Amino acid sequence: MLKIMNTSFNKIISLILVFQFFSFANADTKVENTRKFLEQWVETKQLISKESSNWNIEKSLLFDTKELLSEELNRLNTELADLEASSTASDEERSTLSLEKSKLKEASAVVSSYVGNLEKKLKSIIPFLPEPLVQKIKPLIRRLPNDPDNTDLSLGQRVQNIVGILSQTDKFNTTITSSSEAREFEEGKVIQVTTLYWGLAMAYYVDDSGEYAGIGIPTKEGWEWPLIDGIGSEIKSLVDIYEGTGEIRFVNAPAKIQTL
């Protein structure tokens, strides 16, 4: 378009100059007018060249600006698409979390309706637990609320407390545990004995001499430790085998299982 405009402009200037030339010639123009004519022609050509150069520079700047604006527009469109995708993902995650929260509330309601009874049952079986186990879980036992319907403990704390007691109790019940204990046999006579707990079911005890020996059985009032005559050597053999100082063999020892 610029080229067409320049060509048309040049033709118009040329016609004007030719017209002026013939006018001056016909009027017997002087040499001075001819010189001025040529100077005007040169100035006009310089002006056209300058305008053309300026337009090329401006056109280049406009093109570069367009490129920059196009790149910025593409970047903004990309960021907008990312934000929309992120918003959609956030909405989906929010919906999923809301559903999970609803399910957790339902589960918490179910647990809450049972946790009080579990705490009461745990308290009722404490007397049946062996003393070494009771000593180990005593901090958890102390946290059992006196009134399950009126406690400051959260549901999570109460459940964690119950799980802790049950897990330690189950662990004790699946092993044989040796414990050194002081036991009173006669009024004022206390003897140090070694007790082997066979899980939660029963126990054997014997002193170092083998004179005092017997079994232990759980009851709702606590463990009972009846003394049994004549079994000291057998129970002592059990202790030696457990400690690894005696020969492994079958031992004939009495047993009694107390049903709850």
**pLDDT band per the 50, 70, 90 thresholds, residue 177:** very high
What is the DSSP track for 219-242? ETTEEE--B-TT-HHHHHHHHHHH
| 192 contacts 206 by C-beta, under 8 angstroms | no
In the predicted model, what is the mean pLDDT of residues 87-110? 71
What is the model's pTM?
0.59
| 181 contacts 187 by C-beta, under 8 angstroms | no
Q: Kindly list the domain boundaries of the chain, sorted by start residue.
A: 1-128, 130-173, 175-243
Tokens of 182: 């002081």
**pLDDT band per the 50, 70, 90 thresholds, residue 218:** very high
What is the DSSP track for 61-112? HHHHHHHHHHHHHHHHHHHHHHHHHHHHHHHHHHHHHHHHHHHHHHHHHHHH
Rounded Cα gap, residues 54 and 161, in angstroms? 86
In the predicted model, what is the mean pLDDT of residues 242-254? 88
What per-residue confidence (pLDDT) applies to 191?
93
Rounded Cα gap, residues 172 and 139, in angstroms? 17
In the predicted model, what is the mean pLDDT of residues 68-97? 75
Rounded Cα gap, residues 158 and 140, in angstroms? 10
pLDDT one-digit tens code per residue, 113-140: 778 888 899 999 999 999 999 999 999 9
| 170 contacts 161 by C-beta, under 8 angstroms | no
